[in-house]
Structure 1
Amino acid sequence: MTVSFYGQEASAKRISFLNLVGNNIQVPRGCEAQSEYELQACNGTSIKWDYYSDDMLSAVFDATIEAFGADNSSKTQVTFTSFEAQLTGFKFKTGEAFQYFLKGTIKGQPLMINLGTPTDITGTSDLEGFLKLFFDTAQVG
């Protein structure tokens, strides 16, 4: 019996664009997308988003913040804008990196964004590189 893995190889093609609620964002050179919704370890930064219904978004977000912030006293409130939509959430310091959890609605779609980066984003001027493709503004506090 012969087993062919051809189909698996064909489906493992490289993802060139991320899809944030219909907004196509090109995967930066030298970075690799895990899916249309996740970019891992791109110059030390990872970003992922998940879509939810309105009622599920708050529950999942609150559970995530509670679980992540249980032993972390660095919790700071943040507000970002992405494609003209306001996203609110929290920033945590984890060792030498920062973790951002944001929730909001873009183009009518509720979502949660999980951003991990070595950059301490304290304002819009800290949005460098490919982060400028996702976010228009950033504000802490």
Structure 2
Amino acid sequence: MKNIFTFVLLLATVSFYGQDKKISFLNLVGNNIQVPKGCQAQSEYELQACDGTSIKWDYYNDDMLSAVFDATISAFAESNSSKTEVTFTSFGAQLKGYKFKMGTTFQYFLKGTIKDQPLMINLGTPKDIANNDDLDGFLSLFFDEVS
């Protein structure tokens, strides 16, 4: 009986403490963005498959940002000829980069500095974001405008 009680207690403890903590807010350079209803964050820096759109960002120093960004763009350009320059504004900062059309989706790679922090944003979406009207839904939480 004591063994059964111990096993049940152990199982309850593992079940309670073993659960992943649900992430409610994303953190984009200190800007807290609430995870949209029905979506799930992988981390404070990544939202996957939210209405078909995924976004992730990584922080770098200036030298590393340029190297990683250039390598990423070169790799995508080798297998895709639809490279188009884009500029987004996020929290008052300009982010420049490229858009690639990949089948029925679009892949955006943006680099820039928000609040003195260099970063690269990787955005995958079924939407062709061409103007501010395309920044609906949760994308408007990340970006102010596109040009």
Is the TM value for this pair above 0.5?
Answer: yes
Tell me the distance in 1 between the aligned counterparts of 2:76 and 2:125: 16
Counterpart residue identity of residue 94, structure 2: Q
* 1:33 pairs with 2:41: yes
For 1:9, the equivalent position in structure 2 comes to 18
Residues 9, 98 of structure 1: CA spacing in aligned structure 2 closer, same or farther, 3 A cutoff?
same
Q: CA deviation at 1:8?
A: 5.8
Instruction: Encode CA deviations 1:11-41: one digit per residue, 9 max, x unaligned.
Output: x110000000000000000000000000000
Q: Structure 1: any 5+ residue segments left out of the alignment?
A: none
Higher CA-based Rg: 2
Instruction: Provide the aligned length of Structure 1 versus Structure 2.
Output: 137
Tell me the distance in 2 between the aligned counterparts of 1:27 and 1:119: 19
Q: Structure 2: any 5+ residue segments left out of the alignment?
A: 1-6
Which TM-score applies when normalising by structure 1? 0.93
Q: CA deviation at 1:130?
A: 0.2
Tell me the distance in 2 between the aligned counterparts of 1:134 and 1:108: 17
Residues 100, 8 of structure 1: CA spacing in aligned structure 2 closer, same or farther, 3 A cutoff?
farther
SS at match of 2:18: helix
SS at match of 2:54: strand
Q: CA deviation at 1:74?
A: 0.6
For 1:127, the equivalent position in structure 2 comes to 135
For 2:116, the equivalent position in structure 1 comes to 108
SS at match of 2:82: coil
Tell me the distance in 1 between the aligned counterparts of 2:27 and 2:132: 22
More helix by share: 2
Counterpart residue identity of residue 18, structure 2: E
Tell me the distance in 2 between the aligned counterparts of 1:61 and 1:130: 25
Task: Report sequence identity in percent.
Answer: 73
Q: RMSD across aligned C-alpha pairs, in angstroms?
A: 1.5
Which TM-score applies when normalising by structure 2? 0.89
Instruction: Encode CA deviations 1:100-120: one digit per residue, 9 max, x unaligned.
Output: 000000000000000000000
Tell me the distance in 2 between the aligned counterparts of 1:55 and 1:90: 19
